[in-house]
Structure 1
């Protein structure tokens, strides 16, 4: 271990420091002190999680002793800070915090106290870190200040945790205040401790204060059957929770409704009961229909959900209810994304078990009064009743999207499944079951076309879109036969040199005698129909041929990147097809880069990682595309043998007007660097975006700011006469 205040430094201090640092004299007392402390603390400092120091009280906080922890805390070697050789600690302190830090320490010195302060520093890698500094004053025999000694610790992670906790509390408060369900806390004796506005509305009260004044004894003032409270408490004490507890209760003016409660008991650290907390839902309408539809109930044999035969009758009932109550009804058509690929590749048994799990997640994500139906295959329909505003539906559907996309483990295999949701509304989108279902189905296809894992509301224009999609599918099959595809190349720029260091191959469809068709209009159709496998194989062969041609013509390597679709990546012989494409033109593997989207994890996370290792063994470069928008798990990311992370354009677009994106970009860049990966930003279109990404340490960029996608000939011209940004 090295101590950064050894004899050589002391000799420097004694022999000539006054010439170099005339304002930083070291007295014999201080010199002896540093020698003694160095010998005693050397063995201890290496075990401390932080930076120990001794510095002068000058304008630069000039360091005369710095422990080994300096590198980890600041990014600089300790020797860089000794007597400000490379940089002073004052310059490391964030400009916005310097005055506050100095004032705090000066005040402590004046009062003879130890100092304790939190502030930000500028790390050597360009990031901003939070640190906690504690220390004390070193005084000579006359009582004068000789120096400061202390300890500095990186508390960035703690600060981020505190921020996350504050944000979580704010989210909880928003959910509590705006939830459709009533939320409450009650004492074991039966009085309300806390509740939200929705609970007051359910019970017919004008406000929470009105409810608080109206009900002081839940057992005798709320429940129609007073024994229900005793039953509730008995179940709670026996099981620690109550699920779907149904009871009749009085509303403010005496009318009776049915409610369903889900609650749990909350205990302190010693296991003592503090209170009950739970949710309340008005299920009066559902209870009134139960006897009428019970005899009609038929359910799906696999998932236990109502099936297609019940859907029409149930939907008729819901329409009648909405018409009588003057509320709206929502029909959500849900299709699991890429389920067919999983079912075909992993077997029907695995597919069935996945469907059972998805059905459970859908059911758990909706209210008791809503209905989840399985139509067949991977298609579901949800009926949401008693809707007063569209925002209610959006909140419910966002819960469903989140629930479905959570990691699912079956037989030690990990799957990540998303879904596409189409929504139609009664009465504006249709007044009969068939029309509502048809329009919800059209909206679902639009959700798939928009990239999957999202929801779309029906609009009349969607019918035209569906017709156009069928036309694209027909023409696309002809395009493959007629060889109507071409590749354009979007250059990548190295931030360090400002020059081209590669390109991404982008497919275009050029029908004979027609206008060129961009990929967003036909790639989704190709993926849904399976044609993407043949198209993807063609793109890879063409890209390899182009990389070989450029290598021969220019005498240097220009790596070409190719997008690989999840369906293509999941082919059993995909690795062999890559090997064949390279061998066909004798292209060195490092000249080919494969960009794989995070959504590829949906197939099988472990198989995904194994395939990456096989590809890496070939020598090709690997990149995770659209990073930050899909399903990346930190547990897997550390195992990915990839070379690059490509930041999705959504985090870069409009960066100047949306500064909230900057912490996300910083986090991704820091993550990439910590894993030893190059980080490339897509969609860079402005000087501001360019400069900001460069300042935070991004390695490469791709976007209109540097170059649009170019034809093969134009790309070659750019390589011969490169533009420098």
Structure 2
């Protein structure tokens, strides 16, 4: 029956073919697709018709150009093949062999294009040459971080042996997120592919252009890694982006900020070289769009120290008993100078560290996402110490012990999927009446509802709650009045940090008193500040002037000579 209708037979073959088939007009706008292509592209027919075919794939090599008119004398090809990546609706990209055939009219002018897409997979469904695809960025077809790291490691070893230089360019597309939001993610992906192609055309074959992710690329210049060569290549890359990009009827201007780092002058290993180039890129960005900057050696030195510090901290936090110890600083009633409580503070056993106050390192800990782990070790250590004090009938066991929490500890999605109250319920202690947890005021600026639920659950366990670092960050007073805080700390340094610092401290004390929250002025380290604060309405004080933080044994010995106020417990 079908044989009697060739047109129907062709249509039937087109529709039921397991090869993805697309018919476009001469400009590449989709006219017709079959189901196999829809499966490959992860789209339905309504989402494909009328779109440019380039929206649905990314080339892994510079595309061959098919002329729109054919002359038999020229002998130009009427078709070509190349490997491409088709982006699916789930975000995955699949490798496909794409064939393109030109359909010509009687004058040998292209009137339609026929695209065929065949997935490159073995019988078991695995990608051919898996190692190749593992090292390729699926969006642009460029080397990814894995391949870049391999090439960079080899290039550094070779440069060290030959005593030559390398250069690394870190490229960030300016305001690409705004462009992506304006044109849509599918069109943004296509633009990234076009950006990659333009950049690739300006890079020598002996160099490596790789995509790190998002809108960031790097170029490794191996043979001629001088500052002059890096500048010349960077200028060519920026010039390649100058012609406007088209998106429908829009013309979009794209610029890039480029940072350059040199080996061995700026860095001597893979991670530091890329990090130095990235920091230079941020410097370039501050100058304005489309700028180039080299490494600031002072910044590079600080960057090296930062990476070293973070490496040491990461190691220490995963073995905290070996690297950390808790010290305890007394809190006083300033009228009687009797101890009313203790605050646990962290000390790093590393002999060359902790030259700065603890908060200096806690910021790095939070940036590494390790704050919850360290907090939990501090709590467990304090619980063990308090249990021992009780066994020894030490007066320390009669004092409240305060521990500052990191912001991440108020969340429910902690690294071990145990919210703070669940963690505390499994600790070896009969009561939490002695434990005070201090929440930094800045933690109350985001999800107050979530914080409120967690704090009330902690209060139900008998834990005392405090809010810290008041006065320097805005706090919603209505919310503060609803949260179950019993104490609030104010840093004495506010008196010198602001012109009306003393009035700010006193206003904070009065505010807390009005909310039935006991104010505590902390950080009183010299007599002049203490004298200045005598006029405030705050009863409780803390600082090195009165007593520094000490080990548990030292504070026990100190406490024998300074009995605590037992009515505070």
TM-score for both structures, normalised by structure 2: 0.46
- The structure with higher relative contact order (CA 8 Å, sep 6+) is 2
TM-score for both structures, normalised by structure 1: 0.37
